[in-house]
Amino acid sequence: MRLSALAASSALLVLAAACGAQGEPRTPAGAPLETRPANNPAQQPAFEGQTRAPAVRTERALTHTVVASGLAHPWGLALLPDGNWLVTERPGRLRIVTSEGRVGAPIAGLPAVDARGQGGLLDVVVGPDFARDRTIYWSYAEPREGGNATSVARGRLSDDGTRVDDVQVIFRALPVYDGDKHFGSSLAFAPDGKLFVTLGERSDKPMRPQAQDLGSHMGKTIRINADGSVPSNNPFVGRAGALPEIWSLGHRNVQGIAIQPGTGAVWSIEHGTRGGDELNLEKPGANYGWPDAAYGVEYAGGAINAGATQKPGTVQPVYYWDPVIAPGGAVFYQGAMFPEWNGDLLVAALKEKHIARLVLQNDRVVGEERLLTDLGERIRDVAVGPDGAVWAITDEQNGKLVRLTPAP
């Protein structure tokens, strides 16, 4: 596609390709990309650049190709070593989709999911030793007595890719709740082999306080070993009343997590209410505020709790969107196809139907671009292929696998 003109195009900063090299300073300055009125104009950012970053633009024309279609609300996307893709469908199916677009039959052997509302089969990742053991990991809304909750399982993908064997549930979030919203759940392996799992607080107002409760997994980021055991250096290990899997707390509904190349830093993307989507730089033991400190307003209007955006002992988001984009998955770009993007964070946007490219400098967002806007579909997850092309899946009844490249 060729990028459509933005409302403030005359004020856009042209980001030269040479500025994308690792280590070189990139300091965009200009009119904000976002020009719509804020959902809560009375709230002010805690620091300059925390919202409404300057617009940046990729100089080359881009084009997208629909590689595959007919997927039922695909949710997670993971690259296999052979260049094909594992794709989850929320109703409970996992498929291999080839890079040429052939959609495989559902992979056998997965446990049942509770596919109600936002629940179902969620994220999928390839294990760090896949070349040796062919182990894959997936998260899902697991039906349980009294309701459901997010669980993580692993299993061996058969050599022919038709089934998973030796399935083990390695993590079960607690408590069980009979609801259909805010399951999280994104997965990411860190370079040290630890698995990060993001969890929502289940949305309903009676459940929200559990995001601040160390005796609950709700509204937390979890860190576990690949076998589900607890790393001894997790921040709350040994603390009375605290669940040892917890890495961070105070989250609403995190559906994107990405490990930064080079630094190993953990970045998460969180759904807010109206005007409160967040990008957070995760630190062990940190409290990100929900529901006591948050940007935006309730969906029905009115303040969230007391309307505070800051609270002692809580960490501010690096960036927030007001109005929201409804973020899904995220990935740091590294590739040869768009060298000027190296180090940028790509974020899937459901409500606003694009991929947000965030230019980061010194752990701050200094530029933002909207990609894939002409597709007109809810972008659920985003990934980078071996050649540097950007791949995305769309959360639609006729969901698609899409490849974004420079135009010929």
Catalytic residues: 182
CB 62 within 8 A of CB 408: no
Residue pair 169/140 in contact by the 8 Å Cβ criterion:
no
Integer Rg of the chain from CA? 20
Rounded Cα distance, 182 and 176, in Å? 13
Instruction: State residue 303 phi and psi, 5-degree precision.
Output: -70, 150
Phi/psi at 35 (5° precision): -120, -5
CB-side neighbour CA atoms (13 Å) of 321: 24
Q: With contact defined as beta carbons under 8 Å apart, do 154 and 170 qualify?
A: yes
Amino acid identity for residue 197 in this structure: V
Q: How far apart are CA 400 and CA 83, in angstroms?
A: 17
Q: Are strands 13-14 and 56-57 parallel, antiparallel or unpaired?
A: parallel
* Ordered DSSP codes for 27-81: ---SSBS--SPPS-TT---SSTTSSSPBBEE-SS-EEEEEEEEEESSEEEEEE-T
